[in-house]
Chain A
């Protein structure tokens, strides 16, 4: 298949400027230039993309339309029909979510003596963690420090991050790298055993540790294997559809749904950890997404209904480099580590237009400006537009074999479509990647609701309004571990939960009704529906 003729003409121009570009230095933008660019081009600033939510703890705040639709919806269950005396599982710690954050929390809570149940919507490990390519950020090098990592993270987050969370993140990061290494994760190393580190945008040091371009998969495989070794109880295909509180407002379990039989499962727990991930499959602003099939904001919805506050939900991350061609790969992640190892962004005329190591929000905005405002995009036969990511530069700079050694996944996936990334560039355009905000937590993963903890992408505050590359894989492990520890301790030493109740759901329903919101829409969504309107129409229900 490969690239059609029209696109190949642009590739010739890119090749003609390559020698010049190798020497070209593009200065970083000033804070004023960044602000202007973001306001002009970042999707968060589109006037019609968001609206204020009318109910709940964040009433009046603007959020993505697609999320507000789910927050302004009724529960999937009728609280009056549930028999809360029929308890199916009675545990110390219930972990909701089977990605990196949930699996880590379950492992650590179990290590701390808790009886743990982990429940997940799909299979254990089928989550965004598995798809993380770039790697994990940590200041492990002699020329680096947690102090510099703190500074980069908070500046990247536009100074809106919760500082005590950033502190925890950068402080624990090297400990997490050691923990993963001791679990048997196969990091990229130099011949003497030192860890290989790469750049990611916004970091002033090389500090992203990788396992080729399958870093998240490697960590997830290893942690999942360890969960199995320790025989931690796991329920698959059983998402949580509502939290349970007790009469004093403490979180005391959850109602799960068996996706195949549609039965509900009642879990009583002394502490609950939400690690359900993000929002990508709601497709904010109709963007494609890099996210997993299950990323439908379920944890946000049930926590919000139970009274937990959300933070920065108007800040969505669009990854600068989603695949724009071939059509079959649309929106899929093209790792930032390619830019961190020297691949450049180039427009239809063969020109660079931004320093490739700017933060993701800025880089995405620059690509959108290049394509939309300046009309310098490369058009595909399906009408999609994008810019080039000049991947052959990786081998040119780093010596032949570097692409194969560090980016085997990318090489393999494009080869399937007749594109040789050693010789040809990749066409890219921003794609929805991450939810910067989430449920507000403290450094131990505690939320506003006693007994409810959150970790990973569902939690908010640590990334501020924009996340740096490599900071998500470290986030899930740092806060997964801290939440696992804190929840086990809470379960052991906190007061016993009282009588289970769904009163918060009734209260929320009354709030919806008072706003004139009619019944009809239910949440959480659980699974996106990609069937055609023609099929849906004939379901007659």
Chain B
């Protein structure tokens, strides 16, 4: 963090804040106690999507307040709650992948291929490509490409065709994971054992052991090799 103060404009008001702070820390430095627009403070939750401009550039820029450093004369505004379309579905009662996708999100087919979504994504994902993969029925690819999505809403905020790429993505990932990937045999086996009560006796035994006995058993454990 530098020592020098720089001017920034937070929702229209001018403040002088130290250079190098993130937008979030600059807001707090200026005296804001955040209610909206602040969540995990570490780039996971997508609560702090922020819209800003810098002098000499006509473009609207976007970023997460917890990750983006302030720059001189930055003019910023935090994105309010953004009302988007979220389809309601029952994951147990769905048809074929593509057919279901187009039923739930028919607007997906209107994607213009303009790639605005990709240019705004703070996670550097490529929403246009995962939407395209989903529309090809390649849910495996779409799931992989969208996995890091924090659902901040910036793609939906800027999409000229009014798609909500992040809601399309979560439907695709859930569908793919539940219906298109095999269920692991070792998990099925263990769940069946537990339901049949096969582990109950061992657990009852160890739960009733004296502390001394527990400590002995604990020290005697054999470790699987790293």
Q: When the two chains form their complex, are residues A531 and B33 in contact, meaning their CB atoms are under 8 A apart?
A: yes
* Cβ contacts under 8 Å, A171 to chain B: 194, 199-200, 203
Number of CB contacts from chain A to chain B under 8 A = 200
Given contact pairs A222-B174, A260-B35, A293-B41, A139 touches B190 in the complex (Cβ within 8 A): yes
Q: In the complex, which residue of chain B has the Cβ closest to the Cβ of A125?
A: B45
A193, B183: Cβ atoms closer than 8 Å: yes
Cα(A404)–Cα(B41), bound, Å: 23
Q: Is A184 in contact with B187, judged by CB distance below 8 angstroms?
A: no
- Given the interface pairs A183-B178, A237-B35, A412-B148, the reply to whether A292 lies near B40 with Cβ below 8 Å is yes
B190-212 residues with Cβ-Cβ distance < 8 A to A are: 190-191, 194-195, 199-200, 202-203, 206-207, 211
| Interface residue A368 (Cβ < 8 Å from any Cβ of B) | no
Q: Could you say which residues of chain B place their CB within 8 Å of the CB of A332? A: 42
Closest chain A residue to B218, Cβ basis: A155
A206 to B28, CA, bound (A): 42
Contact call B214/A151, Cβ cutoff below 8 A: yes
Q: Which residues of B contact A529 (CB under 8 A)?
A: 33
Interface residues on A, range: 35 or more
In the complex, per-residue mask of B83-122: 1 if CB is within 8 Å of any chain A CB, else 0? 0001011110000000000000000000000000000000
Beta-carbon contact of B45 and A130 below 8 Å? yes
A223 to B46 alpha-carbon distance, docked (Å): 16
Whether the pair A181, B199 counts as a contact (CB closer than 8 A) is no
Residues in A neighbouring B135, C-beta threshold 8 A = none
Contact check, B67 vs A204: say whether CB atoms are below 8 A apart.
no
B190–A140 CB distance below 8 A = yes
Instruction: Assess A194 versus B218: contact at CB under 8 Å? Given A123-B39, A125-B45, A332-B42.
Output: no
Q: Are A122 and B47 in touch, CB under 8 angstroms?
A: yes
Name which of A225-233, A472-480, A490-498 contacts chain B: A225-233
Minimum CB–CB distance from A357 to chain B (whole Å) comes to 7
Known: A147-B203, A293-B34. A228 touches B88 (CB 8 A): yes
Interface hub of B29, B40, B67, B221 (most chain A Cβ within 10 A): B40
B143 within 8 A of A: yes
Contact B218 A151 (CB under 8 A): yes
Contacts of A177 in B (CB 8 A): 187
Q: With A145-B202, A199-B226, A409-B148 in contact, do A126 and B186 touch (Cβ < 8 Å)?
A: no
B interface size (C-beta, 8 A):
73
Which of A31, A193, A294 has most chain B Cβ within 10 Å? A193
Does A316 interact with chain B (Cβ within 8 Å)? no
With CB as the reference atom, state the residue of chain A lying closest to B173: A186
* Bound form: Cα–Cα A222–B35 in Å: 25
Nearest A residue to B220 by beta-carbon distance? Answer: A151
B147 near A186 with CB under 8 A, answer yes
Which residues between 96 and 123 of chain A lie within 8 Å of chain B, taking CB atoms? 122-123
Interface string of B158-191 (1 = CB under 8 A from A): 0000000000001101111110011111111111
A240 to B87, CA, bound (A): 30
Name the residue on B nearest A329 (C-beta). B42
B31 beta carbon closer than 8 Å to chain A: yes
- When distances are taken between beta carbons in the complex, the residues of chain A under 8 Å from B69 are 328
- Give CA–CA (A81, B80) in the complex, Å: 33
Residues of B within 8 A of A260 (CB): 35
Chain A residues lying within 8 Å of B136, measured Cβ to Cβ, are none
Determine if B203 and A221 form an interchain contact, defined as CB atoms under 8 angstroms apart.
no
In chain A, positions 180-205 with a C-beta closer than 8 Å to chain B are 181-187, 189, 192-195, 199, 204-205
Interchain residue pairs with CB less than 8 A apart (5): A155-B218, A186-B177, A259-B35, A409-B148, A416-B67
Inter-chain pairs besides A31-B215, A214-B148, 14 sampled, C-beta below 8 Å: A123-B45, A126-B39, A151-B214, A155-B218, A171-B194, A171-B203, A174-B194, A181-B178, A187-B177, A229-B88, A290-B42, A293-B38, A531-B29, A532-B31
The 4 closest A-B pairs by CB, nearest first: A184-B174, A193-B182, A126-B39, A155-B218
